[in-house]
Amino acid sequence: AQTVTQSQPEMSVQEAETVTLSCTYDTSENNYYLFWYKQPPSRQMILVIRQEAYKQQNATENRFSVNFQKAAKSFSLKISDSQLGDTAMYFCAFMSPNTGNQFYFGTGTSLTVIP
């Protein structure tokens, strides 16, 4: 079975600062994908970033980047130059084609950006 763990229920960061959200996962699969989704108070889940396990290079999307450590099964999200609009719940998710299209989500980290 696949499990995803987010050990930080709540975090806060000053506007313009950098923050890192942690995620670890457990799987016996070799072919899989990892995601970070953001869920603002409006509740629409939005894709932040995606990482293919076969790629060694860490994914980046503007101010968002990941630190993917496959051997350690760790997948952290770094948000640079934090903005007020980054305030949201962040979910780490795992998916493997070998287990269908099912996403396994962590319990989420509530991030507050302080002006």
Partner 1 sequence: KAGVTQTPRYLIKTRGQQVTLSCSPISGHRSVSWYQQTPGQGLQFLFEYFSETQRNKGNFPGRFSGRQFSNSRSEMNVSTLELGDSALYLCASSLETAATQYFGPGTRLTVL
Q: Which of 5, 12, 18, 107 binds partner 1 (CB under 8 A)?
A: 107
Cα–Cα nearest to 54, from 109, 108, 97: 97
Q: Which is nearer to partner 1, 13 or 91 (CB)?
A: 91
For residue 19, give both structure tokens. 């923050």
Q: One symbol per residue from 26 to 65: x for binding partner 1 (CB under 8 A), - otherwise; what is it?
A: -------x-x-x----xxxxxx--x---------------
CA dist 82 and 79 (Å) reads 6
Size of interface with partner 1, in residues (CB under 8 A) = 22
H-run or E-run covering 38: strand 33-39
Q: Which is nearer to partner 1, 67 or 110 (CB)?
A: 110
Q: Which residues bind partner 1 (CB under 8 A)?
A: 33, 35, 37, 42-47, 50, 91, 95, 97, 100-108
